[in-house]
Structure formats: structure tokens, C-alpha cells
Chains A and B, each alone.
Chain A
Amino acid sequence: DTGVSQNPRHKITKRGQNVTFRCDPISEHNRLYWYRQTLGQGPEFLTYFQNEAQLEKSRLLSDRFSAERPKGSFSTLEIQRTEQGDSAMYLCASSLDLTAGTEAFFGQGTRLTVV
């Protein structure tokens, strides 16, 4: 499978625990995005990497959230001290170069449930 891969697909955690999600983009893609999607809403932008550099962070990304892309390949998104409001689908996307005509490809997402 050469698409964007996200793991795990589902995660159930108790409030207050830390969780970490992984995203493996399409291998030659230098751009990587994280989005959060709640039920009935469109995906909301969280953060963006160009290679290993984190160039943009949304105001949605509180201090409890951290994302890394250490070697410019896979990325991780960690949520510390999870809250029930963190329950959502976390989507990762990658692209070569987001100029006109370039598509961002999405993974299947990680669905987080905080109980």
C-alpha cells in the first residue's frame, strides 16, 4: 500500500492518559498536515510540516498537543493529559508541493475516544 498510513485506526483511552498517533506519508511527499475532525464537522487544521520543519501551528493546538517529524518522513502527534473534548478523528495528509494542481492525500484517520 503506497498511500498515507495512520496508526492506530482506533484508540480508546481514559481521561488524563497520554496518547500518541503515527502517520506515514507517501514516501516522496515533503509536506505533511494534521487535522482534527469531530462528528458532523469538516476537518480542522492543526499543524503543518515541510520536511522536518514544523512551519504552522493552529490555535487549536494547545500546550497538551505536540507533533514531530524528526527525519522528514513519518510524523507523530502526541496528546498529553487527554480530555473528553479531545475525542475526534485525527487525520493526516501529505503532498509533494501544494501549489496549484497538487493534491493532498489523506490517511484513513485515527479515531480517539476519551472516556
Chain B
Amino acid sequence: KNQVEQSPQSLIILEGKNCTLQCNYTVSPFSNLRWYKQDTGRGPVSLTIMTFSENTKSNGRYTATLDADTKQSSLHITASQLSDSASYICVVTYLIRLSGGSYIPTFGRGTSLIVHP
């Protein structure tokens, strides 16, 4: 079972509409949560970052929320544009105990967003 689950897996919306993407995680202890945007064939680019004490963070048309009690986060995109078509990945940084014990960013599978004109 993935430790970072995202929904929906894919989403198609019309240009100008709003949408909300969901992220649930089970890992702990938790350092921070990020949302990344990844265009096809390119590396992920950070949109927002929140620590466990933050509830919301905005970056232009992107607004992320975090409920550390329920371990849920959402990414809301307002007034979508064609260039928003991409994969949106939720990344949780937590203490991973493989050998030394380090904080490692762990990725969800992403939500594929397609914005149609």
C-alpha cells in the first residue's frame, strides 16, 4: 500500500474551471508536505510547501491546504489554463528508517490533469 495516496488518478476539466486534487498520507513523523507540478518528460517543479503547523499556502492560482490531524492535503487550482495540463504530485517528507534514519521526500503517484479549451 502506498504511503502517499492521491485522487483522482486523472481529471479532465474545461479551461477556466476550478478543480481540487486530494492527497492522503499515512507516514510519520512528518516534516513537510509539498505539491509538485510535472510536465511530461520533465522533472518535477515545486508549487507549494507546508510544514505540519501550516493549514494553507497559496501560490498564485494554486492553493494548498493541510490537515495534519487527518493526514489529508488538497491542491485547489482556480481559473484553470491550458498550461496547467500536467501531473500534480503530492510529496511528503518523513523520517525513513532504512539504515541511518533520514528525512526523505516520498512521492504519491500523481494526478494527471488535462485542461481542454
Interface size, chain B (Cβ < 8 Å): 31
Residues of A within 8 A of B98 (CB): 56-59
Compute how far the CA of A57 lies from the CA of B104 in the bound complex, rounded to whole angstroms. Answer: 11
Shortest C-beta distance, B97 to chain A (Å), equals 9
Shortest C-beta distance, B51 to chain A (Å), equals 4
Compute how far the CA of A56 lies from the CA of B32 in the bound complex, rounded to whole angstroms. Answer: 19
Q: Kindly state whether residue B79 has any CB partner on chain A within 8 Å.
A: no
Given the known inter-chain contacts A4-B43, A98-B93, please indicate yes or no for A55 contacting B102, CB distance below 8 A.
Answer: yes
A56 and B99 form a contact (CB under 8 A): yes
Q: Kindly state whether residue A33 has any CB partner on chain B within 8 Å.
A: yes
Q: Kindly state whether residue B71 has any CB partner on chain A within 8 Å.
A: no
Q: Which residues of A contact B (CB under 8 A)?
A: 4, 33, 35, 40-45, 48, 50, 55-59, 89, 91, 93, 98-101, 103-109, 111
Q: Which residues of B contact A (CB under 8 A)?
A: 4, 6, 31-32, 34, 36, 41-46, 49, 51-52, 89, 93, 96, 98-100, 102-110, 112
